[in-house]
């Protein structure tokens, strides 16, 4: 078996106030997988995600265990490279878009890596093309629709050429057309995907595998259709399918 692109072992974490958020989490994701991270509110999903590129860890609280990205440990001296390898698209695109134009936002990360001139323009152009936003390069981000801003937020991460793309509730607040467009983008990417979502049909559409995190522990790790079809498992961890949605009937 090849080295996992994401290798979390025995991760346990408590916040400074003593709140235990993660307890002995093991998660191994291999290159090219698309994995949904499911669980009720308060399960520890955000805490886990923020460990993947070092936003949490170290002095942010007390914890044990390890996180590695393609064999590189997440620690203070590796953070610049880890944050290039692990790109997080947050739920609210306005948390990531702050420059005068779309082009400037997408160029920000690669420019900080030292790219300049034609190389930088190529990187920006490629990322915008992938998300279908080339025509909007010179627009102010705040003039775009919410769905367009989310696509630009994805482009800002893709411009860094990450090994892992982490999507935090990617379908939230999207209309049906924008939801479909984003799914088509994700399905077309040649990158490992970890998707945090409460949108269970979206998990089935985009991710072959699903992991349930509940009360800081991994309680299930199996093919998505199998996870969603286990009524007892779903009920025990406050996960509910939309009315009328039958994962067994969706192919």
Cβ neighbour number for residue 112 with a 10 Å cutoff: 12
Phi/psi of residue 214, each to 5°? -140, 125
Q: At what angle do helices 117-130 and 146-158 cross, to 10 degrees?
A: 130
**H helix intervals, 14-67:** 45-52
Q: What is the mean pLDDT of each run of 10 residues along the chain (251 residues)?
A: 89 91 96 97 94 79 83 92 94 94 97 94 97 97 96 97 96 95 96 97 97 97 97 95 86 64
pLDDT at 250: 73
| Nearest of 73, 27, 69 to residue 47 by alpha carbon | 27
State how far the Cα of 70 lies from the Cα of 119, in Å rounded to an integer. 26
State how far the Cα of 241 lies from the Cα of 2, in Å rounded to an integer. 34
pLDDT at 251: 64
pLDDT at 62: 59
CB of 9 closer than 8 Å to CB of 65: yes
* Diameter of the chain measured on Cα atoms: 56
Token reading at 218: 């991994």
Which residues, at least 6 apart from 186, have a Cβ–Cβ distance to it below 8 Å? 34, 167, 170, 193, 195, 206
pLDDT at 2: 77
CATH label, 6-96+163-249, candidates 3.90.226.10, 3.40.50.300, 3.40.50.1400, 3.40.950.10: 3.40.50.300
pLDDT at 246: 87
Token reading at 141: 């981000």
Ranges of each domain in the chain: 6-96+163-249
User: CA angle 239-96-107, nearest 5°?
Assistant: 135
pTM: 0.94
């Amino acid at each position: 078996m090849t080295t996992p692109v994401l290798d979390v072992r025995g991760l346990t974490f408590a916040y400074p106030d003593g709140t235990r958020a993660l307890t002995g989490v093991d998660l191994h994701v291999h290159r090219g997988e698309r994995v949904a991270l499911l669980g009720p509110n308060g399960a520890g999903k955000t805490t886990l995600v923020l460990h993947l590129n070092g936003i949490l860890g170290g002095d942010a609280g007390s914890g044990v265990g390890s996180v590695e990205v393609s064999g590189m440990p997440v620690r203070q001296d590796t953070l610049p490279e880890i944050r290039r390898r692990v790109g997080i698209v947050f739920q609210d695109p306005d948390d990531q878009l702050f420059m005068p134009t779309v082009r400037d936002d997408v160029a920000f990360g690669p420019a900080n890596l030292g790219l300049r001139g034609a190389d930088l323009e190529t990187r920006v152009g490629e990322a915008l093309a992938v998300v279908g936003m080339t025509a909007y390069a010179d627009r102010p981000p705040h003039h775009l629709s919410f769905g367009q801003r989310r696509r630009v937020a994805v482009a800002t991460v893709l411009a860094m050429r990450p090994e892992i793309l982490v999507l935090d509730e990617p379908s939230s607040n999207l209309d049906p057309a924008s939801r479909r467009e984003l799914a088509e983008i994700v399905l077309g990417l040649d990158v490992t995907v970890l998707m945090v979502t409460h949108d269970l049909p979206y998990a089935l559409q985009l991710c072959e595998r699903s992991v349930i995190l509940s009360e800081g522990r991994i309680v299930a790790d199996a093919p998505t259709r199998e996870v969603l079809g286990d009524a007892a498992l779903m009920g025990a961890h406050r996960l509910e399918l939309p009315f009328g949605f039958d994962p067994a009937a969706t192919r």
